Amino acid sequence: MKIIKFGGSSVANPTNIKKVFEILHQRSKEGEVAVVFSAFGGVTEVLLKSAEKAKLGDKSYVEDIKLLEDKHFEVVKSMIPVKLQSPVLTYIKLRFNELEDLFHGIFLIKECSARTLDYVGSFGERLSAYILSELLRLEGFPAIYLDAREVVRTNDRFGNAKVDFSITNDLIQDFFHQNPGLKVITGFIASTAKGETTTLGRSGSDYTAAIFASALQATSLEIWTDVSGVMTSDPRMVYTAFTIPQLSYAEAMELSHFGAKVIFPATMQPAMKKGIPIYIKNTFEPENEGTLINNDAPNGKIIKGISSMSGISLLNVEGAGLIEVVGVSRRVFGALADAGVNVILISQASSEHSICVAIRTTEAGLAKEAIEREFIYEIRNGEMDPVAVVSEMAVVAAVGENMKHNPGASGRMFQALGRNNVNVFAIAQGSSELNISAVVSQADLQKALNALHEAFFLSDNKVLHLFLVGVGLIGKALIKMIANQREKLQRENDLDIQIHGIANSRFMAFHEDGFDLKNCPAPEDAPEAEAMDLEKFLHQMELMNFSNTVFVDCTASQDVADAYERILEAKVAIVTPNKKANSSSLEKYRQLKKLAYKRGVKFLYETNVAAGLPVINTLQDLMLSGDKVIRIEAVLSGSMNYIFSEFEKGLPFSEVVRQAKDKGYTEPDPRDDLSGMDVGRKILILGREAEQELHFEDISIQSMVPEDCVETKDVEEFFEKLKSHDKDFEAILEEAKSKGEKMRFMATLENGKAKVGLNSLDSSHPFYQLKGSDNMILFTTERYHDFPMIIRGPGAGADVTAAGVFADVIRLGNFSR
């Protein structure tokens, strides 16, 4: 015998009911079944609300009841042939006549006792199970309607009656013995020995099913609902949540206690006691395996699920007067119990200095008052502080039997929370080691759940959540590269990269699940694109509050760089080719590094100098290993090297500058390159990385921008004006040529002094050979003393730069989790 229970959503309308029949056809082929039904979706709520209305003298209950009647009529009219409808419609009509009288009575005497309410509530199941039994007969099942009030005996605690199992079991067994056929049973309702109608409380229909399963020693109990079993976490908050295939009873209890409201623990009790396996299945996705709850749930993962609870407040009872005083906790919890406050989590450290309890925020005022009343004298005497209440809290809990005697679960949990900047306000774990609970702020809940979910379930796959500002040349190339490499990274590096925010200077857009990177839209073309506003962008990033969030700045904007402090402060990592932050004041540069360290996040900027060439990382390694930089000589501008090496071939200077821009080597504004500013910033950054106290003012820079080109209204006008100087540049070129030399735009740093400018070099100089967008950096250090360390290669361009940014992002993957 198998007991199968369908919830309200499974029988909410004819379409769904047909799905239920398919399932029953299939199941009854496998052996004997009995079926328990809830009321049609939403019916019980309306009944109870209408009773309340009638009690308050609100006549609109009449229409509510009429609508309910129609709803039931409609099912019959659309599913039963006209000729056969009459007896069923009569049955429904009679029930609604009864209901009308009942409600009229409530309306007149303005009173509705718990007893009456149970009677009102019984109509939903009585109607649904009766109609469904008739429908099932038409479907060819030997269906027998069973009003559970005939066999389920309870005490008279109306609203939440206690079952008398010894009588109930006998009655059920007798009924089944004497009535062969498919029993179609009303969930939720029962009766007292005197024949009064009672109900079984929350999730009462599940309970009914478990009672029958237990009485009949069923081989299994199936609960059919509208979700595919118990999930690893709340799927509305954790998009990667998945169905847990198997749970022990204890785990199911722990999980359902919090967020996962698929089953209500008490309802499992009768089935659990007999060791009857419970399946949670989805009527709308019957092929999904769902969740099996039984005694021998295999323990693969350390935990089974992560549940959560919102709307929590923390109460802190604290004071010197508590230490080593016996009975304080009895008084705290006694006061809470007397006030009817349900305690959700308790934590007391061994210093005994404070007791902390988590309760529902709706009860916080009541609780504070109750405790302060109890300790009125202690508080007055200063032995205890007034009760502190912190609201807007949530509880997250990791649940699983495998945590038992298995060190590391709590380590992983708190590491994941800490790394993602989730502050933990209180912690509780009992010695059953089945559940570790932490109280976090409500604002951090989603991030906490995702961080934990990733840490425990996707530990084989770290996810970086990117927010990319500056979808220009570099930004676009970066997106393309990530799209192309994503699968390989997932497969071979256990790393996934998602982009949730994109922006250029005009527009920004967000995507909760991450943009489709293979077809990533420009910010202005994305659905729900809005005007770019950095403040709003950051706010949205903070709201989405992902674990392992990375801010990628591919602009050359000072404003964006100015936001780094705030971003790091929020424990969000930064990757950027933008030099503006590191080349601003020395204090700012140091402050950012300090902040990143303090907050435990990375600030990576390899592409600040020489694009993807490993210059910054190399220099940092030299410094960390104790080397000292004596001199740096470098060609640090891809565009300037391109310009002066191509210029030799005979094209006009202005033309070559335009080519450099078209090839994507220059800064967004090429004057930044020609003026030496860009190189100045780079040598400044290298100097600072070499631990020198370098200020921008310390650098002498030779600008190559003719004076009348400095103040042009835009880049186009600049190019126009530059043409008139082509002759001057040719003269410089001729002079170098005449000496057999080449022009290189260089930077040098020695003795705390940096110089940037154009040099004419003969063939003995290593820079003489440079071509195209090449950069070359010579580090003379204490260790690399006689011969410098040399790094050389293309130092500008979309691909080599985006690749460097990408490498920094991947590097973050190694630090994250």
Ligand X SMILES: N[C@@H](CCO)C(=O)O
Ligand Y SMILES: NC(=O)c1ccc[n+]([C@@H]2O[C@H](COP(=O)([O-])OP(=O)(O)OC[C@H]3O[C@@H](n4cnc5c(N)ncnc54)[C@H](O)[C@@H]3O)[C@@H](O)[C@H]2O)c1
Name which of 413 and 469 has its Cβ closer to ligand Y: 469
Closest distance to ligand X from the beta carbon of 554 (Å): 11
User: Taking CB under 6 A as the rule, which mask of x and - marks residues 587-626 in contact with ligand X?
Assistant: ------------------------x---------------
Strand order in the sheet with 742-750: 699-701, 753-761, 742-750, 629-635, 774-781, 789-794
**Helix or strand holding residue 502 (H, E):** strand 495-503
Residues composing the chain? 817
Strand order in the sheet with 462-469: 530-531, 507-510, 495-503, 462-469, 549-553, 573-575, 603-604
Footprint of ligand X on residues 215-234 (CB under 6 A)?
A: none
Can you tell me which residue has the tokens 């328990």?
36
Residue 557 interacts, among Na ion, ligand Y, ligand X, none and using kind-specific CB cut-offs from 5 to 8 Å, with ligand Y
Query: Does 606 interact with Na ion (rule: CB under 5 A)?
Result: yes
Residue type present at position 428: A
The number of C-alpha atoms within 13 Å of 719 and in the hemisphere containing its C-beta is 13
Helix, strand, coil percentages in the chain from 3-state DSSP, rounded to 5:
45, 20, 35
Footprint of ligand X on residues 670-709 (CB under 6 A)?
A: 673, 678
**Cα Rg for the chain, rounded, in angstroms?**
37
Query: Does 209 interact with ligand Y (rule: CB under 6 A)?
Result: no
Residue 556 interacts, among ligand Y, Na ion, ligand X, none and using kind-specific CB cut-offs from 5 to 8 Å, with ligand Y
Total residues at interface with ligand Y (CB under 6 A): 31
Query: Does 797 interact with ligand Y (rule: CB under 6 A)?
Result: yes
- Interface residue with ligand Y, options 390, 436, 796, 809 (CB under 6 A): 796
Closest by CA to 547, choosing from 457, 650, 677, 680, is 457
- Interface residue with ligand X, options 795, 804, 808, 813 (CB under 6 A): 795
Residue 49 among the catalytic residues: no
d(CA 359, CA 332): 13
User: Taking CB under 6 A as the rule, which mask of x and - marks residues 573-602 in contact with ligand Y?
Assistant: ----xxx-----------------------
Query: Does 470 interact with ligand Y (rule: CB under 6 A)?
Result: yes
Query: Does 647 interact with ligand X (rule: CB under 6 A)?
Result: no
Residue 673 interacts, among Na ion, ligand X, ligand Y, none and using kind-specific CB cut-offs from 5 to 8 Å, with ligand X
Closest distance to ligand X from the beta carbon of 607 (Å): 7
Closest distance to ligand X from the beta carbon of 348 (Å): 57
Of 168-176, 219-227, 529-537, 610-618, the window that binds Na ion (rule: CB under 5 A) is 610-618
Closest distance to ligand Y from the beta carbon of 595 (Å): 21
d(CA 798, CA 593): 27
d(CA 369, CA 346): 18
Distant-in-sequence, close-in-space partners of 614: CB < 8 Å, separation ≥ 6? 606, 791
Query: Does 541 interact with ligand Y (rule: CB under 6 A)?
Result: no
- Interface residue with ligand X, options 205, 450, 578, 639 (CB under 6 A): 639
Distant-in-sequence, close-in-space partners of 560: CB < 8 Å, separation ≥ 6? 469, 470, 534, 553, 578, 580
Helix (H, G, I), strand (E, B) or coil at 237: coil
Distant-in-sequence, close-in-space partners of 530: CB < 8 Å, separation ≥ 6? 507, 508, 509, 536
Query: Does 582 interact with ligand X (rule: CB under 6 A)?
Result: no
Distant-in-sequence, close-in-space partners of 407: CB < 8 Å, separation ≥ 6? none
Q: At what angle do helices 114-138 and 82-109 cross, to 10 degrees?
A: 180
d(CA 153, CA 190): 6
Query: Does 187 interact with ligand Y (rule: CB under 6 A)?
Result: no
Query: Does 634 interact with Na ion (rule: CB under 5 A)?
Result: no
Query: Does 794 interact with ligand X (rule: CB under 6 A)?
Result: no
- Interface residue with ligand X, options 666, 675, 692, 816 (CB under 6 A): 666
Determine contact, residues 623/690, Cβ cutoff 8 Å: yes
Query: Does 575 interact with Na ion (rule: CB under 5 A)?
Result: no
Q: Which of 682, 721, 739, 742 is catalytic?
A: 682
- Residue 264 phi, psi (nearest 5): -110, 125
- Interface residue with ligand Y, options 181, 201, 668, 788 (CB under 6 A): 668
Residue 560 interacts, among Na ion, ligand X, ligand Y, none and using kind-specific CB cut-offs from 5 to 8 Å, with ligand Y
Name which of 287 and 535 has its Cβ closer to ligand Y: 535
User: Taking CB under 6 A as the rule, which mask of x and - marks residues 422-461 in contact with ligand Y?
Assistant: ----------------------------------------
Query: Does 816 interact with ligand X (rule: CB under 6 A)?
Result: no
Residue 523 interacts, among ligand Y, Na ion, ligand X, none and using kind-specific CB cut-offs from 5 to 8 Å, with none
Can you tell me which residue has the tokens 């022990």?
248
Query: Does 469 interact with ligand Y (rule: CB under 6 A)?
Result: yes
Closest distance to ligand Y from the beta carbon of 678 (Å): 7
Determine contact, residues 206/262, Cβ cutoff 8 Å: no
Binding site for ligand Y (CB under 6 A): 469-475, 503-505, 532, 534, 554-557, 559-560, 577-579, 607, 611, 638, 664-665, 667-668, 796-797, 801
Active site residues: 682
Site residues (CB under 5 A) for Na ion?
606, 610, 613, 615
